[in-house]
């Protein structure tokens, strides 16, 4: 793939510095990974990978995590679960308190959700919840954990952004904007932390087969009904591996890499029009544009 979608830049200083925190195998030396949004989808798969790699887990979501906890414990990990709303500072503080001061070796800042329909038809309360979850809660968590990692001189952070950040998201406008923020933020923070022993990696998935579309009330859209969504286990593996290699960012899947390359050369009004076809309510029932571009959520 050409350089405009090449996120494989690896900060050698960063990776050299963090070699000594690779997961241990003995229960008393297992490092701690914090995973937000671990109840389902990509976050649950990231938690599974971390458990298999020998991490203990602190997982969080705003719905019960019982099933996730059970499955993760079966892999031998010690699992602590916090049920809280990470759109609020109190919710994030609750998660942080649950670390009980233990060093965090890996942070997966993954919790996030979308919101379908036209902006003027959305409830502002729901709009705020997207921003507070995807942006404010995420960067508050990253700041608190990042400071601790910098002080310790080691740590790995994986932030779940999206290829949606490269495209104006008609009928999902606030969500795409929130991911543009996150994609950009992750890359900037990574640069700021050069040489500190803390690496930041941004995972940018495309359309993935999770609860995302149901939660965003987008099941009647073309993208919501798309049958060939990516497997969240595969997406998580791509992100996890990129984080372990200390890469700056990774777009999951070649089709999404193509989509991002296209987004960087196509005029923004055209991209917004393409997104309308994918995310407009009712669009899933109509087939007006058989040669539509691949979606970007």
As annotated, the active-site residues are: 175
Q: Please report whether residue 212 would count as binding ligand NAP according to CB under 6 A.
A: yes
Residue 78 exposed, middle or buried by CB count within 10 Å (0-12, 13-18, 19+):
middle
**Residue span 264-293 as binding mask against ligand NAP, x where in contact by CB under 6 A, dash where not:** ------------------------------
Query: Which segment (20-28, 41-49, 185-193, 257-265) binds ligand NAP by CB under 6 A?
Result: 41-49
Applying the rule CB under 6 A, the residues between 86 and 125 that interact with ligand NAP are 86-87, 110-113
Q: How far apart are CA 230 and CA 233, in angstroms?
A: 9
Cβ proximity to ligand NAP: between 110 and 221 the closer is 110
Residue 17 touches ligand NAP, criterion: CB under 6 A: no
Q: Is 247 helix (H, G, I), strand (E, B) or coil?
A: strand
Among 40, 172, 176, 221, binds ligand NAP (CB under 6 A): 40
At residue 42, what are phi and psi to the nearest 5 degrees?
Answer: -65, -40
What is the H or E stretch that residue 145 is in? helix 138-152
**Shortest approach of ligand NAP to residue 217 CB, angstroms?**
12
Q: What is the CA radius of gyration of the chain?
A: 19
| Contact predicate 47/35, CB 8 Å | yes
Taking CB atoms, the residue at the shortest distance from ligand NAP is: 41
What secondary structure does DSSP assign to 189-241, as a single string?
HHHHTTTTTEEEEEEE--SBSSTHHHHTT-TTSHHHH-S-PBPHHHHHHHHHH
Paired tokens of 204: 């940018």
What is the nearest approach in angstroms of ligand NAP to the Cβ of residue 112? 2
> Looking at the chain, how many residues does it have?
297
x-or-dash string of contact with ligand NAP, 129-168, rule CB under 6 A: ----x--------------------------x-x------
The three-state DSSP-derived secondary structure of 11-27 is CHHHHHHHHHHCCCCCH
Q: Smaller CB distance to ligand NAP: residue 18 or 182?
A: 182
Torsion angle defined by CA atoms of residues 251, 254, 257 and 262, in that order, rounded to the nearest 10 degrees: -160
Q: Which is nearer to ligand NAP, 18 or 236 (CB)?
A: 236
- Per-residue contact track with ligand NAP, 47 to 86, x per CB under 6 A? --------------xxx---------------------xx
Nearer to ligand NAP, 43 or 249 (CB): 43
Residue given tokens 């996030």 in the structure block: 112
Q: Around Cβ 194, how many Cβ atoms within 10 Å? A: 12
Shorter beta-carbon distance to ligand NAP: residue 14 or 210: 210
Total site size for ligand NAP, rule CB under 6 A:
29
Residue 207 near ligand NAP by CB under 6 A: yes
Q: Which residues bind ligand NAP (CB under 6 A)?
A: 37-43, 61-63, 85-87, 110-113, 133, 160, 162, 205, 207-208, 210-212, 215, 232, 297
């Amino acid at each position: 793939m050409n350089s405009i979608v090449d996120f494989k830049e690896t900060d050698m200083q960063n990776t050299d510095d963090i070699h000594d925190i690779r997961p241990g195998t003995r229960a008393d030396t297992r490092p701690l990974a914090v995973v937000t949004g671990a109840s389902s989808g990509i976050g649950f798969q990231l938690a599974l990978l971390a458990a298999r790699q020998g991490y203990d887990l602190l997982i969080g979501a705003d719905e019960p995590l019982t099933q996730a906890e059970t499955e993760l414990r079966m892999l031998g990990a010690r699992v602590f679960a916090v049920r809280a709303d990470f759109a609020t500072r109190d919710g994030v503080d609750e998660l942080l308190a649950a670390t009980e001061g233990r060093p965090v070796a890996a942070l997966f800042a993954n919790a996030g959700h979308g919101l379908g329909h036209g902006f003027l038809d959305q409830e502002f309360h729901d709009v705020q919840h997207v921003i507070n979850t995807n942006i404010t809660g995420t960067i508050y968590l990253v700041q608190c954990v990042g400071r601790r990692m910098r002080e310790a001189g080691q740590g790995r952070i994986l932030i779940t952004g999206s290829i949606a950040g490269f495209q104006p998201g008609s009928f999902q406008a606030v969500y795409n904007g929130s991911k543009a923020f996150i994609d950009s933020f992750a890359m900037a923070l990574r640069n700021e932390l050069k040489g500190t022993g803390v690496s930041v990696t941004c995972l940018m998935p495309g359309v993935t087969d999770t609860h995302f579309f149901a939660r965003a009330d987008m099941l009647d859209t073309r993208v919501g009904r798309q049958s060939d969504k990516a497997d969240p286990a595969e997406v998580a593996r791509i992100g996890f591996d990129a984080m372990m290699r200390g890469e700056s960012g990774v777009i999951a899947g070649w089709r999404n890499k193509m989509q991002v390359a296209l987004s960087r050369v196509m005029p923004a009004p055209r991209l917004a029009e393409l997104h309308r076809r994918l995310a407009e309510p009712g669009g899933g029932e109509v087939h007006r544009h058989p040669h539509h571009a691949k979606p970007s959520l």
